[in-house]
Structure 1
Amino acid sequence: MKDNRRTFIKKAALGTTGITLGSAPFAFSAKSYNSIMGANDRVNMCVIGTRGQGFGHLKRWASMAESENVYVKTICDVDENLWAERVQAVNEIQGKKPGTEVDMRKVFDDKDVDAVSIATPNHWHALATIWAVQAGKNVYVEKPCSHNVFEGRKMIEAARKYNRIVQVGFQNRSINNVRKAMQFLHNGGIGEVYMAKGLCYKPRDSFGIAADSEPPQGFHYDMWLGPAAMRPYNEKKSHYNWHWHWDTGNGDIGNQGPHQFDVARWGMNKNEHPVKVSSSGGYYKYGPDECSQETANTQTAELQYADGKILQFEVRGLYTGGEADMGVKIGNLFYGTEGWMEVNGGTWKTYMGRDNEPGPSSESEEEGTDKVVDYLAAPGSGGHYANFIAAVRSGKKSDLTCDIEEGYYSTVLPLLSNISYRMGRSLEFDGKKEKFVRDPEADKMLSREYRKPYVVENNV
């Protein structure tokens, strides 16, 4: 929905020109009208990291040109080999050709860029966000918001210090059916929720091994490594496969997993850290001579809160069926004192009492009850990306469905789980200090050794 300010600008523009929309021969298209509106209303975006999810970001933002006056001004990627295809795609969608850049720092120096969309590997999320807000940019950053716990806290501090809008890419937060499911839980729809479970059942084949080599021409490898320790280039440890190596990724529990961790914590209404964490698993089927993967392909985690309530998570990276009535593989289960709920994408169902009587659901006709409410769509009402743009225009972080602090609390859950997994033991966590209890060895894994000049400073 256009706000009053945009309506006023539109009327003023038409009034001063004497031209009416749709009156030939001077009819304005949406694109030409947006050009008249000018830089004060337009949101100029830069997408940083344009493979995979980043290519999706480019298409999303570019598709908002006519409807929301959002334009991709710059494509930033350290792999120049991607540029031609990305530029062509964006130009075809928004009718305007974006520029290209290797170094994100030059993007941050561009006064015409209003916001950046970060879809780099995980190890770059925090530093890119901090540099961006220090330069006055608003930020949409992919999940998990950070590669470790320390730098996630620094992202919050930077966002608040420089008063910038920072949205984390937990898209479920802007899906209306999921929002209704969460409201139903919070209203006591299945009684008191005492346990939640997140599921990530996603088969992953071996991606193989390769000898170290020279980076491809046009791929700026040193900049791609950024905060990570220097190591020889290896094609099996860079594009996409970075997910499965500790220096750059967090495994599937920190890849697909954060989405379901977020829904689990949201449904439990927990705005705090857990006090205990235990995780175990392994990398099964493929040996080190078949695949260079370091992270687990099968992993379970259990996190407990101060009141004793439990959040469970399970990764199954080989072959498995689904869970519950809908055969959920990527989703959530919630258990309450009066019943339970399954969430599968935007579909949810509840089952009540000992006999599992069907209760309200996303397709229920019982939405007049006080347990299922017409939970209003998020500001922007066009999904997570539109929600971000609405908050950028309003300047209110309260308009975001997933502000950086919300995203951080969910991101910490897989990060703590991985520390327990790698340490091989259960851990106690002090949420106020954001340190483990009397465990300096585990504390070392809350941060990392940063490689200059790619350093997340303590004072942001």
Structure 2
Amino acid sequence: MTQRRDFIKKSLIGGAGLAIGGMGFSAKSYGSILGANDRINVAVIGIRGRGVSHIDAWCELKESHNVRLKTLCDTDEQFFDPRSKTVLDKTGIKPTTEWDMRKVLDDKEIDIVSFATPNHWHALGTIWACQAGKHVYVEKPASHNIWEGRKMIEASRKYNKRIQVGFQNRSIPNVMEAMKFLHGGGIGEIYMARGLCVKPRDSFGIAKDSTPPASLHYDRWLGPAPYRPYNEKRGHYNWHWFWDTGNGDTGNQGPHQFDIARWGLNKNEHPVSVFSSGGIYGIDRTQCEQETPNTQLTIAKYNDGKILEFETRGRYSNSESGLGIKIGNIFYGSEGYLEIDGSTWRAYRNKESDPFAGSKVIQANASETLTGSSNTEHFVNFLDAIKSGNNETLHCDILDGHYSSAVPFLANISYRLGREIRFMGNSEKCINDPAADAMLTRKYRSPYVVPSKV
């Protein structure tokens, strides 16, 4: 089996110049280059919600990139039958199923692990996968806190494994075009970026603690999080709204827009200060146990004074800008401004009301792409980077994913402490602020401990 893995690595690296688009190969001809022995075996861990899109993407790449979706893994076995049927219908091959992530990582045939788990499992699962010799595709945010993100970077570098973070906008051609326009001085010098997340969400109610369903391996689902009795309102999807497992909408939908904002500002660094405030509005708190805010405003400043703003509105609200943005970004420059709504962008010069530049190719709205289809471009880029053996070819290497995830993490620390956070990017510590420093990491529940030395 070791010989097979070495052969795959050598074949992929040796074929780096044969990437689709690089030498004009079609998807069909690219697939014919790789023989049966070069098949890339994938496991998807976390098969509910966003995991469905992972399944669809890997299935779609079966022929063009010789991908086999070999294993589906989830702590809740209720999803095994319908997801297995999806894979069988799409590829003609029935995957194996497993609830224990460690057994998946022990499988020497698995080359790639694709994580769509709750946020609190991203870092430990990724580190375990790198240690087991797997490349990793992990959903946003990259981790659950800043310290974990740094450990993921260390694991990637130590074990020479590619980690692609699921900031899919980085592989959408129209968004890439907008970033090139901004970085080329299209609206002059950019001094501020604004991200928006207008997602009205109703109360999900309350429930008494109860016994976990027979299909759920609850201790494993909790993993690194502190133990607490099972409650259905803190489980599937609702985990986003509790600090032990999620990061609220500022750390859920928000990271996509934080990433675009940071990308447009061309800031490959941490901000020096972050202030965030907000609360839970429009919901009867006696009928909902949500901990994270549904309304939140964040202002992050960089060392040169440039500003990143982000706003989460979880109740009914208007859109913004000429494009009517609800989930998107606006950039402000010395000579105009630029709007991005999904994969559509427009640039305006000074006080002019008509755009002078913008996207010419109509693409699916990015918010629909991210939730309603597989969006294979980002997965293909990941495969190409594995083939090249070079982190530099990744559209969102773990370092980029870490920078973009850290801003909403700092925002949530500021919100929870009720004051500005001043941050030292080089050491990834707060300035004279032990309380804030303590929130850069977490206490881990044995044996689900993110190691200090990866």
- Amino acid in the other structure paired with 1:428: R
SS of the equivalent of 1:384 reads helix
Distance (Å, rounded) in 2 between the aligned partners of 1:36 and 1:340: 46
Partner of 2:368: none
Q: Does 1:145 align with 2:129?
A: no
Higher helix share: 2
Partner of 2:272: 275
Q: Does 1:435 align with 2:408?
A: no
Partner of 1:412: 406
Judged with a 3 Å threshold, the aligned counterparts in structure 2 of structure 1 residues 209 and 307 are, in CA distance, closer, same or farther, namely same
Partner of 1:37: 35
Give 1:3 deviation, angstroms: 10
Q: Check conservation: 1:114, 1:138, Cα contact below 8 A.
A: yes
SS of the equivalent of 1:45 reads strand
Per-residue CA deviations over 1:243-283 (Å, capped at 9, x if unaligned) read: 00000000000000000000000000000100011000000
Q: Does 1:240 align with 2:237?
A: yes
Distance (Å, rounded) in 2 between the aligned partners of 1:421 and 1:139: 31
Judged with a 3 Å threshold, the aligned counterparts in structure 2 of structure 1 residues 3 and 405 are, in CA distance, closer, same or farther, namely closer
Q: Check conservation: 2:163, 2:398, Cα contact below 8 A.
A: yes
Unaligned runs of 5+ in 2: 1-11, 19-27, 362-374
- Amino acid in the other structure paired with 2:66: N
Judged with a 3 Å threshold, the aligned counterparts in structure 2 of structure 1 residues 219 and 34 are, in CA distance, closer, same or farther, namely farther
Q: TM-score, normalised by structure 1?
A: 0.88
Q: Check conservation: 1:339, 1:356, Cα contact below 8 A.
A: no
Partner of 1:83: 80
Q: Check conservation: 1:49, 1:118, Cα contact below 8 A.
A: yes
Q: Does 1:426 align with 2:411?
A: no
Distance (Å, rounded) in 1 between the aligned partners of 2:33 and 2:183: 45
Q: Does 1:397 align with 2:395?
A: no
Alignment of 1:125-144 (within 5 A): 125-144=122-141
Q: Check conservation: 2:194, 2:261, Cα contact below 8 A.
A: yes
Per-residue CA deviations over 1:79-99 (Å, capped at 9, x if unaligned) read: 111100011110111111100
- Amino acid in the other structure paired with 1:398: E
Distance (Å, rounded) in 1 between the aligned partners of 2:187 and 2:414: 31
Judged with a 3 Å threshold, the aligned counterparts in structure 2 of structure 1 residues 36 and 318 are, in CA distance, closer, same or farther, namely closer
Per-residue CA deviations over 1:410-432 (Å, capped at 9, x if unaligned) read: 00010000000000111111111
Partner of 2:169: 172
Give 1:447 deviation, angstroms: 0.3
Q: Does 1:445 align with 2:439?
A: yes
Distance (Å, rounded) in 2 between the aligned partners of 1:363 and 1:34: 33
Per-residue CA deviations over 1:174-222 (Å, capped at 9, x if unaligned) read: 0011001000000000000000000000110111000000000020000
Distance (Å, rounded) in 2 between the aligned partners of 1:192 and 1:423: 34
- Amino acid in the other structure paired with 2:35: M
Partner of 2:68: 71
Alignment of 1:171-250 (within 5 A): 171-250=168-247
Distance (Å, rounded) in 2 between the aligned partners of 1:249 and 1:277: 20
Give 1:382 deviation, angstroms: 5.4
Give 1:37 deviation, angstroms: 1.6
Give 1:6 deviation, angstroms: 10
Distance (Å, rounded) in 1 between the aligned partners of 2:280 and 2:159: 42
- Amino acid in the other structure paired with 2:156: A
Alignment of 1:12-23 (within 5 A): none
Distance (Å, rounded) in 2 between the aligned partners of 1:3 and 1:281: 49
Q: Check conservation: 2:198, 2:326, Cα contact below 8 A.
A: yes
- Amino acid in the other structure paired with 2:306: K
Q: Which moved more, 1:235-244 or 1:288-297?
A: 288-297
Alignment of 1:109-128 (within 5 A): 109-128=106-125
- Amino acid in the other structure paired with 1:95: G
Partner of 2:52: 55
Partner of 1:346: 343
SS of the equivalent of 2:123 reads helix
Distance (Å, rounded) in 1 between the aligned partners of 2:98 and 2:120: 20
Q: Check conservation: 2:57, 2:376, Cα contact below 8 A.
A: no
Q: Does 1:311 align with 2:313?
A: no
Q: TM-score, normalised by structure 2?
A: 0.90
Of the candidates 248, 251, 256, which is equivalent to residue 254 of structure 1? 251
Distance (Å, rounded) in 1 between the aligned partners of 2:32 and 2:291: 49
Per-residue CA deviations over 1:370-400 (Å, capped at 9, x if unaligned) read: xxxxxxxxxxx95101111111222221111
- Amino acid in the other structure paired with 1:105: R
SS of the equivalent of 1:211 reads coil
Judged with a 3 Å threshold, the aligned counterparts in structure 2 of structure 1 residues 6 and 203 are, in CA distance, closer, same or farther, namely same
Q: Does 1:330 align with 2:324?
A: no
Distance (Å, rounded) in 1 between the aligned partners of 2:50 and 2:428: 30
Partner of 2:369: none
Q: Check conservation: 2:294, 2:312, Cα contact below 8 A.
A: yes
Q: Does 1:296 align with 2:293?
A: yes
**Alignment RMSD:** 1.9
